[in-house]
């Protein structure tokens, strides 16, 4: 695999020297351009010698709300004048530590709730040549309400559903139950799970694959990290069930590379499963085979797009494919593929163990089942919470997450990261439900709730979101590649104020045209969703935007501060 | 149509309200095209796999979002709308986005007015893009001789990439980077001219904008002469050596290649002339020779009057044996053959290429070529030669020619290989590898493991070593020279770095073959060992010298390696120029000394050959007649053709051309002779035939001294004074 080869080279040299890539090309018969094209796509790979201390401050949503711009500016001051080969302070896209903001990656090791003092101390130790290590404090397993195997429920030992199924082989029954449960994909799109599995099951082509998307990278999304930490057995069981039901013999768990700890936990659980004969050939003497392996993502938000993720597993640039065909027909290696989010797989053994009636009864207000939500931003108690589907946002924010930090008031919240746009505090009674949120002009998405208090500038948050998309665009299609940059340029201009009314009107019209084109013309969901944050802000917080553009005033006093400005230049241009 | 049942294998659908029937698997784009509906596109070409990245061929196909028609297969009953407001407005925005970063008018628009992006944008009524322009330019790449790259005009349609990889299977081009900073890259993001690109032209032909365009014809317009026959791309493509080259590309280079006919006896090119073309013989035979006498300049003669006057004359090797004379039996020239020292004449025939160095690197012609029978040849400029040289089928032919005809001479031209048995040469003909290097490319690196031996076939190779004070150039090797033996004979490690100075081609003999060779042929081993020994001793001496006098300034001025320097003590010197006059008097009126040069303390180091660290004079000698001895002294071999390039190259003006009258064949009248002036390059000879250099002798103020720089400068620096 190309990524293994590249990682091995990088481990040896700290970067990818030309000579090594040339010999890799000679050895593998892979053309040079192809190696470079892949290596230059993923930020994880260094094509030039990296600095001794590479400090990368997460600047997306939750970290942005928790002092990342100031932290970055402070660090730049502290290392002012340091040569580029010694220290580089740069931005990085969401590291998936939104509940422990701000997060900083130093030499690819992630540190959370970082102060400038601590970051400086770690960077200085890296400068001295020490190897830095991220910390993994012991996290006790949390008993989840939705875990059917939690002590005392009497359902039986772990993997009970899967064991029984290898015996009964009643796959049609599983699909019928899932259909009745109306389980939908939990990754954002909400496609009916039973239909997806059934489509793959009916495909004549073999081999088939089951792929788990554990690449959650949307700012604010931390629920899969929690699930993989506390319910790894349900994930593996769900994937194995998907495998035998759909007829796939190979499963791949695609995990983001920033989740070192979860990779370990899952690896250990996998070993246990193999020891128990639950995975591998002839599972429990049933004649069924299913192998499951972990694939560590080479990195990038776009890898979470299902076809980009498939491209990455195939060793290509993670560029989304044109659809149709969909992965159910032509997925991994152009074979039928079940591709689901972590939480979707975890839901399956729950439903099969406890029954559809139980699943239906768990939701509130007509919704079904449980939902893991990550709450981050300006709340007292950020973290992941397991709540019944249909719970109101108010209950999530004020009961589970402890309300707004510092006694301030709620101004806005994103129900699911930048992609869901921002809703105003007045809509806090919206229920966590596919339909309710869609009706509110937002979406349930991946349950990445980001909370903004009354000190937040919403234009700044919109710009922050657009920048995130701009940085994470794969560049394959024009509307997203160029459009995300032009939208960033436009919003940067707005935050600087000083436009006349006709200019502003022209800009607004241009923004609408661009938004429509991006939404309609982009290949994948990333490009299509880029306009959502600014459009939601224009819809709900128009006066605030007007104040910036027409009066040169940021009502929240954010936009004209140097800390927020820092870093724009570093994020454009050719990555070294 | 819609009323009848759809036959199997066909699909019924509706495009813009019109029912159409197409084969299943057809793309919406093609279905529309076949039914007279044109959908605009930038990234789609009929002969390339569709990728759907430009998003211009968007149509409504029933989905939540628009579909790219080029990648959307037709579905039964599908309703396609290609021209709704929604579609048109999205297309226009896409064009406007691209135009906001487009350097308008781009190179293609300027040359031929057919930039597809600008044409479409114009048609869509976009005059001025309203979006902000790109703030950081992505840059240009001018490194290829044939194709100009303007990354700012690139719209990442992937057409070039598919042309390179899918159509031509050359696998050089790909996307690099990600997002807004993505671009196209050659190999590991090398400059195009240094990449493995073979200049087939497919990328350029595929490019819709000015990102990849044909580079203008360089050099003189060869098409203008009367006898030249310009012919079109069609005809060229019939010729096997152009197999694989894009026809459009050749069309763009019309006039850069012409067909010429030469009558028997006609001169094709003359040694020493400057030129910019190469010749490829299609039919007929031609003679290649050096007409300048093979002799070196000897200065001697008795006293004439009070001042000792010397005369220079041309003296052959047999009459005047020089110390350290190279025992070469062949003279390397810019053709597929080498000339014999004793009788420098050879014949070229159909399929031979000559003038490559002149064409690629603008070196003077190395030899005179004259038609023996009637000759038909292509004469071409650099961009066409580059295309041909990189073309697989042409290369294969040239390489086969070389293996068949020239390799043996080439090997035997190196004296120590003269004893190789014919069967071994036959073995080498099959096993050697012919490699090309671009200017600046490293062939071997000091300290790397040594695994092969190289023979220079074309171009100049710089041999340099790393010293405490920096890099020292040991030699510029040219055709017929070899390198890599020290590493193989010694510790298995490269002792010097060898870099291609221009377009270099080498013959690579593997370590195994090399070892076999020296085992089987003791004379070869002995010869190589002796040379290696000499070279290493010289290296050690230099090292010691450099360690005892670690003076950067001298190193950088190239003084330390000099065998002998003329220094003028400026405290005594009255600037009377008696030294210069004496030199001129001593050398037939041509001075080899200029009273100018680098100053050190009160000393002026006059310009007389200082055996530079980086002897630029050697670069470009078309016949390899200027070289360095192991002692580092620069000497001029006696097959100098007097082209004067070394004199022009010497930054210190230390090489002069000395004219001699000689009798040569009269080109106008066969069989008759006539007098002609031939020149030979000369540099300071230290007046070796006199007791003391005439400049020193002539100085009335005791200001001129010939000194050994080592002692002189060490004393001066060590003690602060030489007095």
pLDDT class of B341 with cuts at 50, 70, 90: confident
- What digits encode the pLDDT tens for the residues B432-452? 888 878 777 788 888 888 888
- DSSP 8-state symbol, A192: B
CB contact under 8 A, A523 and B186: no
pLDDT at B467 (0 to 100): 67
CATH assignment, B222-290+333-390 = 2.60.120.10
Structure-model confidence comparison of residues B345 and A327, the more confident one: A327
Cβ–Cβ contact A272 with B under 8 A: no
pLDDT class of A574 with cuts at 50, 70, 90: very low
CB contact under 8 A, B178 and A479: no
Domain with CATH 2.60.120.10 in chain B: 222-290+333-390, 415-548
- Kindly tell me if the per-residue pLDDT of A360 is higher than 60: yes
Residue B263: other Cβ atoms inside 10 A = 10
Asked if residue B61 lies in contact with residue B78, where contact means CB atoms within 8 angstroms, the answer is: yes
Residues of chain A contacting B208 with CB distance shorter than 8 Å: none
What top-level class would CATH report for the domain A160-353?
A: alpha beta
pLDDT class of B578 with cuts at 50, 70, 90: confident
Whole-number percent of chain A with pLDDT over 70: 96
What top-level class would CATH report for the domain B415-548?
A: mainly beta
Task: Give the Å distances, CA to CA, from B137 to A572, B152, B178, B720.
Answer: 11, 6, 16, 54
Whole-number percent of chain B with pLDDT over 70: 80
Nearest CA in chain B to A525: B65
- What digits encode the pLDDT tens for the residues A72-94? 999 999 999 899 889 999 999 99
Cβ–Cβ contact A41 with B under 8 A: yes
Rounded to a whole number of angstroms, the distance from the CA of A490 to the nearest CA of chain B is: 8
- Kindly tell me if the per-residue pLDDT of B199 is higher than 60: yes
- Kindly tell me if the per-residue pLDDT of B503 is higher than 70: yes
- Kindly tell me if the per-residue pLDDT of A271 is higher than 60: yes
pLDDT at A249 (0 to 100): 97
CB contact under 8 A, B93 and A479: yes
**Distance between start and end Cα atoms, chain A:** 23
CB contact under 8 A, B177 and A470: no
pLDDT at A527 (0 to 100): 96
- Look at A66-75, A174-183, B195-204, B537-546 and tell me which has the smallest mean pLDDT: B537-546
pLDDT at B321 (0 to 100): 61
- Kindly tell me if the per-residue pLDDT of B534 is higher than 90: no
Rg (CA), chain B: 33
- Kindly tell me if the per-residue pLDDT of B85 is higher than 90: yes
How far apart are alpha carbons B566 and A465 in whole angstroms? 73
Reduced 3-state DSSP string for B290-316: CCCCCCEEEEECCCCCCCCCCEEEEEC
Rounded to a whole number of angstroms, the distance from the CA of B212 to the nearest CA of chain A is: 17
Give me the mean pLDDT over the A392-402 stretch: 96
CB contact under 8 A, A523 and B135: no
pLDDT at B220 (0 to 100): 43
CATH fold, domain A462-571, is de novo design (two linked rop proteins) (1.20.1440)
Q: Residue holding tokens 């690197």?
A: B361
pLDDT at B326 (0 to 100): 52
pLDDT class of B610 with cuts at 50, 70, 90: low
- What digits encode the pLDDT tens for the residues B440-489? 778 888 888 888 889 888 778 888 877 665 677 777 787 778 888 888 87
Reduced 3-state DSSP string for B482-544: EECHHHHHCCCECCCEEEECCCEEEEEEEHHHHHHHHHHCHHHHHHHHHHHHHHHHHHHHHHH
How far apart are alpha carbons B204 and B202 in whole angstroms? 5
Domain A363-453 and domain A462-571 have a common topology: no
- What digits encode the pLDDT tens for the residues B215-270? 765 444 454 555 666 766 777 787 777 777 777 777 777 777 888 889 998 888 88
- Kindly tell me if the per-residue pLDDT of A168 is higher than 50: yes
CATH assignment, A53-127 = 3.40.30.10
Please name the helix (run of DSSP H) or strand (run of DSSP E) that holds residue B665, with its range, or none: strand B656-665
Q: Select, from the ranges A82-96, A382-396, B709-723, the one with the highest average predicted confidence (pLDDT).
A: A382-396
Structure-model confidence comparison of residues B549 and B423, the more confident one: B423
CB contact under 8 A, B174 and A37: yes
pLDDT at A498 (0 to 100): 83
Which residues, other chains included, contact B88 with Cβ-Cβ below 8 Å and sequence gap of 6+?
none
- What digits encode the pLDDT tens for the residues A331-340? 999 999 999 9
pLDDT at B631 (0 to 100): 52
- Kindly tell me if the per-residue pLDDT of B1 is higher than 50: no
- Kindly tell me if the per-residue pLDDT of B717 is higher than 60: no
Mean of the per-residue pLDDT values for chain B? 80
Specify whether domain B10-83 bears CATH 3.40.50.300.
Answer: no
Residues 368-407 of A with CB under 8 A from B: none
Cβ–Cβ contact A35 with B under 8 A: yes
pLDDT at B3 (0 to 100): 55
Residues of chain B contacting A520 with CB distance shorter than 8 Å: 58, 65-66, 86, 90
Rounded to 5 degrees, what are φ and ψ at B4? -75, 155
| β-strands B79-80, B10-15 pairing | parallel
pLDDT class of B716 with cuts at 50, 70, 90: low
Cβ–Cβ contact A576 with B under 8 A: no
Please name the helix (run of DSSP H) or strand (run of DSSP E) that holds residue A370, with its range, or none: strand A370-377
Rounded to a whole number of angstroms, the distance from the CA of A77 to the nearest CA of chain B is: 25
Interface A–B counts its CB contacts (< 8 A) at 166
Rounded to 5 degrees, what are φ and ψ at B47? -95, 10
Asked if residue B230 lies in contact with residue B378, where contact means CB atoms within 8 angstroms, the answer is: no
- Look at A462-476, B451-465, B551-565 and tell me which has the smallest mean pLDDT: B551-565
CATH fold, domain B137-214, is Alpha-Beta Plaits (3.30.70)
- What digits encode the pLDDT tens for the residues B301-312? 444 444 444 566
- Kindly tell me if the per-residue pLDDT of B378 is higher than 50: yes
Asked if residue A61 lies in contact with residue A450, where contact means CB atoms within 8 angstroms, the answer is: yes
- What digits encode the pLDDT tens for the residues B92-116? 999 999 999 999 999 888 887 889 9
pLDDT at B337 (0 to 100): 77
pLDDT at B688 (0 to 100): 64
- What digits encode the pLDDT tens for the residues B124-163? 999 889 999 998 888 999 888 788 999 999 999 999 999 9
Q: Where are the domains of chain A?
A: 2-39, 53-127, 160-353, 363-453, 462-571
pLDDT at A428 (0 to 100): 97
Task: Give the Å distances, CA to CA, from B170 to B145, B149, B244, B418, B505.
Answer: 18, 18, 10, 40, 21
pLDDT class of B89 with cuts at 50, 70, 90: very high
How far apart are alpha carbons B12 and B21 in whole angstroms? 4
ipTM, two decimals: 0.94
pLDDT class of B87 with cuts at 50, 70, 90: very high
pLDDT at A366 (0 to 100): 83
ω before B681 within 30° of 0 (cis)?
Answer: no
pLDDT at B305 (0 to 100): 43
- Kindly tell me if the per-residue pLDDT of A1 is higher than 50: yes
pLDDT at A241 (0 to 100): 97
- DSSP 8-state symbol, B163: I
pLDDT at B556 (0 to 100): 47
Task: Give the Å distances, CA to CA, from B702 to B565, B567, B603, B610, B714.
Answer: 15, 11, 13, 21, 21
Residues of chain A contacting B172 with CB distance shorter than 8 Å: 31-33
Nearest CA in chain B to A510: B130
pLDDT at B18 (0 to 100): 94
- Kindly tell me if the per-residue pLDDT of A503 is higher than 70: yes
CATH assignment, A363-453 = 3.10.20.600
pLDDT at B612 (0 to 100): 63
- Kindly tell me if the per-residue pLDDT of B198 is higher than 60: yes
């Amino acid at each position: 695999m190309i990524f293994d080869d590249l990682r091995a080279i990088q481990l040896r040299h700290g970067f990818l020297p030309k000579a090594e890539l040339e010999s890799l090309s000679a050895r593998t018969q892979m053309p040079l351009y192809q190696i470079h094209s892949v290596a230059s796509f993923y930020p994880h790979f260094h094509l030039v010698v990296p600095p001794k201390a590479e400090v990368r401050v997460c600047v997306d949503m939750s970290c942005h709300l928790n002092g990342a711009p100031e932290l970055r500016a402070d660090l730049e001051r502290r290392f002012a004048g340091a040569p580029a080969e010694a220290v580089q302070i740069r931005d990085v896209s969401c590291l998936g530590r939104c509940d422990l903001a701000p997060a900083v990656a130093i030499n690819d090791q992630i540190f959370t709730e970082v102060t400038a003092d601590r970051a400086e101390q770690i960077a200085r130790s890296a400068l001295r040549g020490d190897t830095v290590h991220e910390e993994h404090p012991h996290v006790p397993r949390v008993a989840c309400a939705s875990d059917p195997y939690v002590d005392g429920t009497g359902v039986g030992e772990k993997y009970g559903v899967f064991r029984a199924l290898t015996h009964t082989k009643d796959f049609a029954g599983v699909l019928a139950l899932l259909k009745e449960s109306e389980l939908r994909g939990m990754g954002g799109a909400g496609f009916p799970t039973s239909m997806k599995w059934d489509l793959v099951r009916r495909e004549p082509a073999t081999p088939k694959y089951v792929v788990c998307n554990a690449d959650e990278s949307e700012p604010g999304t931390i629920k899969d990290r929690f699930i993989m930490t506390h319910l790894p057995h349900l994930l593996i069981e769900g994937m194995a069930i998907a495998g035998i039901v759909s007829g796939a013999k190979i499963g791949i768990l695609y995990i983001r590379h920033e989740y070192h700890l979860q990779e370990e936990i899952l690896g250990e659980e996998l070993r246990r499963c193999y020891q128990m004969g639950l995975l591998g050939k002839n599972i429990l003497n049933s004649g069924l085979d299913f192998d499951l392996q972990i694939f560590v993502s080479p990195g990038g938000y776009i890898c979470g797009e299902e076809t980009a993720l498939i491209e990455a597993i195939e060793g290509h640039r993670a560029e989304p494919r044109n659809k149709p065909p969909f992965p159910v027909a032509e997925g991994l290696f152009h074979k039928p593929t079940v591709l689901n989010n972590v939480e979707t797989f975890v839901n399956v053994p729950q439903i099969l163990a406890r029954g559809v009636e139980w699943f239906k009864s768990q939701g509130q207000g007509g919704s079904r089942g449980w939902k893991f939500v990550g709450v981050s931003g300006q709340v007292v108690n950020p973290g992941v919470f397991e709540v019944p589907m249909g719970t109101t946002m108010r209950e999530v924010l004020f009961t589970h997450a402890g309300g707004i930090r510092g006694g301030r008031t709620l101004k806005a919240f994103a129900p699911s990261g930048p992609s869901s746009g921002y809703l105003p505090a007045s809509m806090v009674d919206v229920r966590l439900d596919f339909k309710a949120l869609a009706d509110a002009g937002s979406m349930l998405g991946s349950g990445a709730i980001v909370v903004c208090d009354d000190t937040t500038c919403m234009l700044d948050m919109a710009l922050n979101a657009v920048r995130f998309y701009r940085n994470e665009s794969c560049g394959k299609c024009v509307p997203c590649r160029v459009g995300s940059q032009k939208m960033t340029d436009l919003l940067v201009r707005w935050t600087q104020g000083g436009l006349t009314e006709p200019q502003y009107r022209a800009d607004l019209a241009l923004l609408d045209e661009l938004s429509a084109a991006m939404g309609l013309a982009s290949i994948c969901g990333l490009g299509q969703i880029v306009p959502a944050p600014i459009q939601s802000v224009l819809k709900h917080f128009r006066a605030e935007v007007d104040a910036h553009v027409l009066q040169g005033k940021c009502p929240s006093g954010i936009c004209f501060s140097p800390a927020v400005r820092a870093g724009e230049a570093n994020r454009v241009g050719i990555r070294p | 149509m819609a009323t009848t049942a759809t036959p199997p294998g066909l699909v019924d659908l509706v495009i813009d309200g019109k029912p159409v029937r197409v084969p299943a698997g057809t793309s919406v784009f093609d279905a529309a095209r076949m039914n007279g509906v044109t959908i605009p596109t930038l990234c789609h070409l009929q002969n390339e796999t569709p990728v759907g990245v430009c998003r211009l061929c968007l149509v409504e196909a029933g989905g939540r979002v628009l579909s790219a028609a080029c990648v959307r297969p037709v579905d039964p009953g599908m309703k396609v709308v290609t021209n709704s407001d929604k579609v048109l407005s999205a297309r226009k925005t896409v064009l406007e986005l691209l135009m906001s970063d487009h350097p308008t008018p781009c190179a293609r628009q300027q040359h031929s007015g057919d930039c597809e992006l600008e044409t479409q944008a114009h048609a869509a009524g976009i005059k001025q893009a309203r979006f902000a322009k790109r703030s950081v330019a992505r840059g240009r790449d001018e490194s290829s001789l044939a194709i100009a790259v303007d990354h700012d005009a690139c719209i990442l349609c992937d057409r070039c990439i598919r042309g390179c990889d899918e159509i031509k299977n050359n696998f050089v081009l790909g996307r690099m980077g990600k997002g807004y900073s993505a671009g196209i890259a050659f190999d590991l993001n090398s400059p195009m001219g240094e990449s493995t690109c073979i200049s087939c032209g497919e990328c350029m032909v595929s490019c819709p904008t000015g990102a990849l365009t044909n580079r203008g014809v360089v050099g003189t317009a060869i098409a203008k002469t009367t006898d030249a026959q310009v012919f079109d791309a069609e005809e060229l493509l019939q010729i096997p050596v152009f197999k694989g080259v894009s026809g459009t590309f050749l069309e763009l280079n019309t006039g850069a290649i012409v067909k010429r006919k030469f009558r028997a006896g006609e001169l094709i090119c003359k040694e020493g002339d400057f030129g910019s073309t190469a010749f490829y013989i299609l039919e007929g035979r031609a003679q290649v020779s050096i007409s300048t006498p093979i002799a070196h300049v000897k200065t001697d003669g008795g006293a004439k009057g009070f001042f000792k006057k010397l005369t220079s004359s041309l003296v052959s090797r047999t009459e005047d044996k020089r110390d350290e004379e190279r025992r070469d039996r062949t003279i390397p020239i810019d053709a597929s053959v080498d000339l014999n020292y004793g009788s420098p004449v050879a014949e070229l025939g159909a399929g031979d290429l000559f003038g490559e160095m002149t064409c690629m690197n603008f070196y003077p012609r190395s030899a005179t070529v004259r038609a023996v029978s009637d000759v038909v040849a292509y004469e071409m400029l650099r961009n066409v030669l580059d295309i041909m040289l990189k073309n697989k089928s042409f290369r294969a032919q040239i390489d086969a020619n070389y293996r068949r005809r020239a390799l043996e001479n080439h090997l035997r031209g190196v004296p120590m290989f003269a004893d190789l048995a014919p069967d071994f040469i036959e073995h080498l003909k099959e096993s050697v590898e012919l490699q090309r290097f671009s200017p600046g490319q490293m062939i071997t690196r000091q300290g790397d493991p040594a695994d092969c031996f190289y023979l220079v076939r074309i171009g100049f190779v710089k041999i340099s070593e790393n010293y405490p004070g920096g890099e020292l150039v040991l030699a510029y090797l040219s055709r017929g020279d070899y390198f890599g033996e020290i590493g193989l004979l010694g510790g298995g490690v490269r002792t010097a770095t060898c870099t291609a100075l221009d377009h270099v081609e080498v013959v690579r003999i593997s370590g195994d073959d090399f070892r076999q060779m020296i085992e089987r042929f003791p004379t070869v081993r002995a010869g190589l060992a002796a040379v290696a020994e000499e070279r290493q001793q010289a290296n050690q001496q230099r090292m010691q010298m450099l360690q005892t006098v670690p003076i950067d300034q001298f190193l950088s001025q190239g003084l330390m390696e000099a065998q002998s320097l003329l220094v003028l003590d400026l405290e005594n010197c009255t600037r009377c120029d008696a030294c210069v006059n004496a030199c001129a008097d001593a050398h037939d009126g041509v001075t080899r000394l200029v009273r100018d040069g680098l100053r050190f303390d009160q000393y002026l180091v006059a310009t007389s050959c200082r055996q530079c660290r980086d002897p630029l004079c050697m670069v470009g000698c078309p016949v390899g007649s200027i070289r360095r001895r192991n002692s580092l002294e620069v000497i001029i071999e006696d097959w100098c053709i007097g082209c004067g390039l070394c004199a022009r190259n010497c930054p210190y003006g230390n090489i002069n051309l000395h004219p001699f009258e000689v009798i040569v064949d009269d080109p106008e009248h066969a069989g008759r002779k006539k007098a002609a002036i031939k020149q030979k390059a000369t540099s300071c000879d230290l007046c070796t035939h006199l007791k003391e250099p005439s400049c020193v002798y002539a100085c009335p103020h005791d200001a001129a001294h010939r000194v050994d720089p080592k002692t002189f400068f060490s004393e001066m620096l060590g003690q602060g004074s030489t007095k």
